[in-house]
Amino acid sequence: MIDLLYEMDGKSSATPINAKEIKLKSDWNNNSIEDKSEAEVSTNSLQFALSDATAINDRIASGLNGGFGIFEGVPYKIKLRDLTSGVTAEILDGYIDLADEHSIISCDQVDSVIKKRKNLDWLTTQADGISFGYLANIGVITIADSYTVPYVLNQRPEAFAVVMISMSIYMTTVALIDAIKALANSIADFAAIPFAGVGVNIGAIIAAALRVVAAAIYAAALVVALVAMIKELIDQLFPPVRRGRGMRLEVMFQKVSQHLGLTFSSTIFNIPKWKNAIYYPQKSEGGGILGAVKGVGHPNQSSPIYNCGDFFRIFKDGMNAQFKIDGTTLHFERSDFWDSKAVWTLPDVETDQSKRLSSFNYNTSEILSNLMIGLQTDYQDENTLENFKGTNYQIITQPNAIGNLDYVNIKGFADVRLPFARATRKDSLTVVEALLASLANIVDSTINFLGGSSKLASTITNRKGMMALSADTTGVDKLLIMNGQNIPLNKADQLNASDFWDFHAINSFVEITDPLTGSLVHNQYKIFEGVRIPFCYEDWLALLGNNKFLTSDGKIGEMNTVEWDIQNEEANISYKIKHLYTKNLKLAFNEGE
């Protein structure tokens, strides 16, 4: 036998009028930020009367004189006591949600629902109420949290510039050759003069020496002028490296979590590529030069993720991930992360003849004939248009064998559209840059030949690997992978739309190798509805933390809803169990260009 105990705002009693009708319901089928990651735990509407109703009304009225008011729920706990053993256990730590639109409040009775404390519905509400700009304004985000992103402007070849530089190279080459010849001839003349013996001409020696000095001075002056000219050309046609600020994605999650009193945890950011994933906000001004860094790294008001709730939702969908709060830790993981952590085993309803399931259905409605994963292009950055490959990734599910195309019934389309543009790595020199590099090499070689030290050419060539932009201002936020100051050389290590397929691959109805784990995965299930099973506190506690479970024969299952009839110690459940029911499918991939 069991008994239920109630506690409101730290005080015992507060027993609802309809206590005998209480049922606890867990529902993982919803469409908000907590989609299938945590149960929406609630009760049927509870009715409070007499002193309990008065206390609740007083709580509401306190909002007029410095109290908490209607928008802060009243703490409420439900505990279960085993009358045989005397053991008491907490089954719901929640609050009376007075702001819920279904609450009915009068002076002598209050009808309201009880919701779990600090659940993911709370996370959604809190994240929607803050922005990254606000977190920066109150000092949660500081400049120290930013990541320096150097970039170069990718000059497009212009006929005038090409002609001007070509002429400069020609004239520079001719002038240097003439100067060096003149110097060489002067030195030769000087060397041919006898310095001892008969016929020594002191005047000729002095004249020849002066010619050598004059030729050397002319050559040196020419080199100085050429260096100045090259530097001016580089300044005018090849703008300096600029530096702006971005933020690591992991740091962005950490900062929002910190503000909400949570510690962020995610194995996604243990993956080297995503550990180095940088968010670079759209810019309305150029970055700093000469080593200076300008701008902020967090999203600005024009960004689609300026609001922290939008930030959570976009990456949850993009990474096919789930949020889960465990105590004071906010977990962010790919949706199958909790499969391996299942601790609850479903009673053997298949072999128990009194409860044998007579019907089920397949999850055929979840198949997608076409999944499109896409990033954005930025018309202020021509690089995103010229280097389009990697911006989109299409995954098509098709039958292997077809009897009659008229009867093929694979349907469903999903568009995972990320509001970010890919960053482009500077891999090579443009025509203008290559000509400038040639000119700089001529000057470097000459100066170094004459005993000096010049590295003008390196100021051009050492920019490879940096982010390339068409202009200092950008119109779309960017995502990029960075190793130190550079984008990785290997294109597979750069960010592409296909990288997000790594997170969605587990939803494939085709049995494939998981890109992240290397194991075989598929998304085919049997679905069961309206199954009644024996159910107690330990079952409730186990499923509340993780709706993934095991069957008696070791298959992975996923709970959709649980309605617990506490008094009768049973539950009405709906769930699905992984079951491969067709192999007549294949995937086709398309990376648009």
| DSSP-assigned letters across all residues of 130-165 | -BHHHHHHTTSS-GGG-EEEEEEE-PPP-HHHHHHH
Residue where one domain finishes, among candidates 444, 479, 497: 497
Under 8 Å between Cβ of 311 and 299? yes
Host H or E run for residue 376: strand 370-376
Question: What pLDDT, in 10s, does the model give residues 486-507?
Answer: 999 888 899 999 999 999 999 9
Residue 133, burial from CB neighbour count under 10 angstroms (0-12, 13-18, 19+): middle
Same-domain status, 209 and 101: no
Same-domain status, 274 and 311: yes
Predicted TM-score (pTM) of the model is: 0.80
Q: What would the two tokens of residue 515 be?
A: 């890109």
Mean pLDDT of 228-252: 81
Q: What percent of the chain has pLDDT over 70?
A: 81
**How distant is the alpha carbon of residue 208 from its chain centre?**
73
In a domain, 508, yes or no: no
Q: Beta partners for 27? A: 561
**Contacts for 114 with CB less than 8 Å, ≥ 6 apart:** 42, 43, 46, 76, 78, 92, 94, 95, 96, 97
Residue 490 carries which DSSP code? Answer: S
Q: Is the pLDDT of residue 306 over 60?
A: yes
Q: Is the pLDDT of residue 165 over 80?
A: no
Question: What pLDDT, in 10s, does the model give residues 552-571?
Answer: 888 889 998 888 888 788 89
The alpha helices in 429-560, defined as continuous H runs, are 431-449, 458-461, 498-504, 537-545
Same-domain status, 148 and 294: yes
Q: Is the pLDDT of residue 115 over 50?
A: yes
Q: Kindly report the CA angle at 148 between 146 and 154, in degrees rounded to 5? A: 140
Same-domain status, 14 and 38: yes
Same-domain status, 403 and 284: yes
In a domain, 518, yes or no: no
What is the pLDDT, as a whole number, of residue 2?
73
The band of 237, judged by pLDDT with boundaries at 50, 70 and 90, is: low
Same-domain status, 84 and 230: no
Q: Beta partners for 362? A: 526
What is the pLDDT, as a whole number, of residue 25?
76
Give the chain's mean pLDDT: 84
In a domain, 448, yes or no: yes
Q: In what order do the strands lie in the sheet with 392-398?
A: 424-425, 467-469, 147-153, 242-248, 277-280, 478-481, 413-422, 370-376, 392-398, 586-590
Q: Which residue has the tokens 């019907």?
A: 359
Residue where one domain finishes, among candidates 93, 117, 141: 117
Give the span between the Cα atoms of 388 and 237, in whole angstroms. 26
Mean pLDDT of 240-251: 93
Same-domain status, 397 and 269: yes
Give the span between the Cα atoms of 172 and 183, in whole angstroms. 16
The total of other beta-carbon atoms located within 10 Å of residue 60's CB is: 18
What is the pLDDT, as a whole number, of residue 350?
58
Under 8 Å between Cβ of 523 and 454? no
Q: Are strands 109-112 and 42-43 parallel, antiparallel or unpaired?
A: unpaired
Q: Is the pLDDT of residue 353 over 50?
A: no
Closest CA to 479 of 592, 376, 589: 376
Under 8 Å between Cβ of 49 and 109? yes
The band of 34, judged by pLDDT with boundaries at 50, 70 and 90, is: very low
Q: Is the pLDDT of residue 333 over 80?
A: yes
In a domain, 517, yes or no: no
Closest CA to 120 of 42, 21, 210, 6: 42
Long-range contacts of 59-66 (CB under 8 A, 24+ apart): 59/9, 59/98, 60/98, 60/105
Same-domain status, 176 and 213: yes
Q: What would the two tokens of residue 485 be?
A: 């100051």
The band of 124, judged by pLDDT with boundaries at 50, 70 and 90, is: confident
Residue 84 carries which DSSP code? Answer: T
Closest CA to 543 of 119, 2, 39, 4: 39
In a domain, 515, yes or no: no
In a domain, 53, yes or no: yes
Q: Is the pLDDT of residue 156 over 60?
A: no
Same-domain status, 14 and 86: yes
Same-domain status, 300 and 403: yes
Mean pLDDT of 101-115: 87
Domain count, the chain: 4
Under 8 Å between Cβ of 320 and 504? yes
Range of the domain at 478: 133-154+242-334+366-426+467-497
Q: Is the pLDDT of residue 210 over 80?
A: no
Looking at per-residue pLDDT, the higher value among 71 and 1 belongs to 71
Question: What pLDDT, in 10s, does the model give residues 527-544?
Answer: 999 899 998 888 888 887
Q: Which residue has the tokens 């309305």?
A: 284
Q: Beta partners for 586? A: 398
Number of residues in the chain: 593
**Contacts for 369 with CB less than 8 Å, ≥ 6 apart:** 396, 397, 398, 410, 411, 412, 413
Q: What would the two tokens of residue 405 be?
A: 């195309």
Q: Is the pLDDT of residue 457 over 90?
A: no
Mean pLDDT of 41-56: 81
In a domain, 514, yes or no: no
Give the span between the Cα atoms of 424 and 438, in whole angstroms. 25
Same-domain status, 409 and 440: no
Q: Which residue has the tokens 């600020």?
A: 245
Q: Are strands 263-265 and 344-345 parallel, antiparallel or unpaired?
A: unpaired
Residue where one domain finishes, among candidates 452, 478, 497: 497
Closest CA to 72 of 125, 27, 18: 125
Same-domain status, 61 and 173: no
Give the span between the Cα atoms of 19 and 563, in whole angstroms. 16
Q: Is the pLDDT of residue 36 over 50?
A: no
Give the span between the Cα atoms of 544 and 565, in whole angstroms. 15
In a domain, 43, yes or no: yes
